[in-house]
Structure 1
Amino acid sequence: MLLAIDAGNTNVVFALLDGSAIRGRWRIATDPRRTGDEYAVWLMQLLAIRGVEAKAIDQIIISTVVPRALHNLEILARHYFEIEPLIAGVGKADYGIDIDVDEPRSLGADRAVNSIAAHAKHAGDLIVVDFGTATTFDVIDFNGAYKGGIIAPGINLSLDALVGNTAKLPRIAIQVPKSDSVVGRNTEDQMLIGVFWGYVAMMEGLIARIRAEIGRPAKVIATGGLAVLFHEATNIFDAVDADLTIDGLAILAQRAASK
């Protein structure tokens, strides 16, 4: 079985795959100070609950946008699973796609892996929208080449900035507003309208501009924690795929195994 690890700015996601089937998925808050031993204590218990022994895992792949977290995840793989982990974008787990931007090495591993999975699953030109700490828009052409994209503040980051830099505005939960009206009658409703519908308008506007620049039909794939929430409020997404990053890591691991 494959253990795929995706270390993002907010969470580290561990996914256990048996072939193409995901047997388990767990997440823990990203903390570069967390040791390999701490990861092991937490993860081994979760594997035991699923009835999976450590020796059943024969391949590990890691993708990270937090460089300081990589070392301790490698320690986890080597000390507790006796496996030399694959690192997305390195060696046998090289991306294998054309990264057609000014500084290819600056592309985040999660965005490259999403691009690989999106192209494997969908034909034609693609726009991948990933809702994470930042919201990213990635453009992949019909040949699978990464052509660039956009980085915008994530909605929770935007809300944190709004609340943290004002004296009287309260903390609110991100949800679909109960009313279709964009004229709020109280402070909380006005904040939710501004954050939620403002974010929807931003996405719709940027995607329209990207499509116009591509000049050809482009399918929009949404992934990340809030993708389902926004999918209910707009028709700009052609597909929502919560497992896009994990599937991309599985593709890289399969390619590496055949080299």
Structure 2
Amino acid sequence: MILAIDIGNTNIVLGCMDGPNCVFVERLSTVRTKTELEYALDLKNVLDLYHIKRSDIEGGIISSVVPQITTVAKIAVEKIIRKEVLVVGAGIKTGLNIRIDNPAQLGSDLVVDSVAGIAEYPVPLLIFDLGTANTVCVIDENKNYIGGMIYPGIGVSLDSLTANASQLGGISLEAPEHIIGKNTAECMKSGTIYSSAAAIDGIIDRLSEELHGDVTVVATGGLAEKIVLHCRRKIVLDNDLLLKGLAVIYRKNRR
């Protein structure tokens, strides 16, 4: 069993992978001011909650898009499991063939998503990761990462709307009963949910044309479940995609 952790701008996703099976998945808030000890205690509490013994964990792996806490998190994990922890980055074997202008610029989360996608699904492949930022990974028929998209996440867009429109307050992200809203809150919910779903459908259409045919589409990320339900294109929801990718990369680098 390995401990897999993905550090995002808003949440830290962590779970244990036992072969291809995900034993558990949990989310913690990403707090840039926490110390190694504080993160270690958070991790210990999660492992205790699921009755995971330290002796059951053979190692760990981290991907991170928040450089200022990557080392802190690595040390915290090693305090708890007392095993070597890999960090996805320079020197780590991924097996991903990256065909972009500067492969070093590709975020570790996108690398991990792509590795998992290629291992799990037919190509060509589009992977939507819906979080603080929405990202799209494009994998061609030869399993090459050929590029993608980055655009504002749903929460970022909604925060911007409420911050800049004085009469609009905060809302929860649940779809209203009707697409045509009957009050301000319903209008905001409908606009947020359905515009996001329509954007995904439109992006799939355009990228399918670029790839000259049918594509497999996978969605993951903290907000994917709320949006994919309302899309019209066939999309596979895989909430464990990042952890699966981390497990694949760990195995590639195991001594």
Q: TM-score range by the shorter chain?
A: over 0.9
Are the equivalent residues in 2 in contact too, given 1:44–1:54 (CA < 8 A)?
no
Report the counterpart of residue 17 of structure 2 in structure 1. Answer: 17
Structure 1 stretches (4+) deviating beyond 6 angstroms? none
TM-score by length of 2: 0.94
Report the counterpart of residue 60 of structure 1 in structure 2. Answer: 60
SS at match of 1:157: helix
Report the counterpart of residue 44 of structure 1 in structure 2. Answer: 44
Report the counterpart of residue 247 of structure 2 in structure 1. Answer: 250
CA distance in 1, matches of 2:248, 2:234: 24
- Pairing partner for 1:189 from 186, 189, 193: 186
CA distance in 2, matches of 1:191, 1:126: 32
2:79 aligned with 1:70, yes or no?
Answer: no
Structure 1 residues 42-191: aligned runs within 5 Å: 42-91=42-91, 93-181=92-180, 184-191=181-188
Report the counterpart of residue 202 of structure 2 in structure 1. Answer: 205
TM-score by length of 1: 0.93
CA distance in 1, matches of 2:230, 2:110: 24
Letter in 2 for 1:242: N
23-32 or 1-10, which deviates more: 23-32
Task: State the 1:119 CA deviation.
Answer: 0.8
SS at match of 2:97: coil
CA distance in 1, matches of 2:169, 2:77: 43
| Runs of 5+ consecutive residues of structure 2 not aligned to the other structure | none
CA distance in 2, matches of 1:249, 1:196: 30
Are the equivalent residues in 1 in contact too, given 2:59–2:81 (CA < 8 A)?
no
| Runs of 5+ consecutive residues of structure 1 not aligned to the other structure | none
Deviation string, structure 1 residues 42-64 (Cα, Å, up to 9, x no partner): 22122223222223222110000
Letter in 1 for 2:69: A
Task: State the 1:230 CA deviation.
Answer: 1.9
Report how many residues are paired: 255
Are the equivalent residues in 1 in contact too, given 2:9–2:65 (CA < 8 A)?
yes
Task: State the 1:32 CA deviation.
Answer: 2.2
Q: CA RMSD in A?
A: 1.5
Task: State the 1:111 CA deviation.
Answer: 0.8
- Seen in structure 2, the aligned counterparts of structure 1 residues 99 and 189 have a Cα distance that, compared at 3 Å, is same
Letter in 2 for 1:133: T
SS at match of 2:198: helix
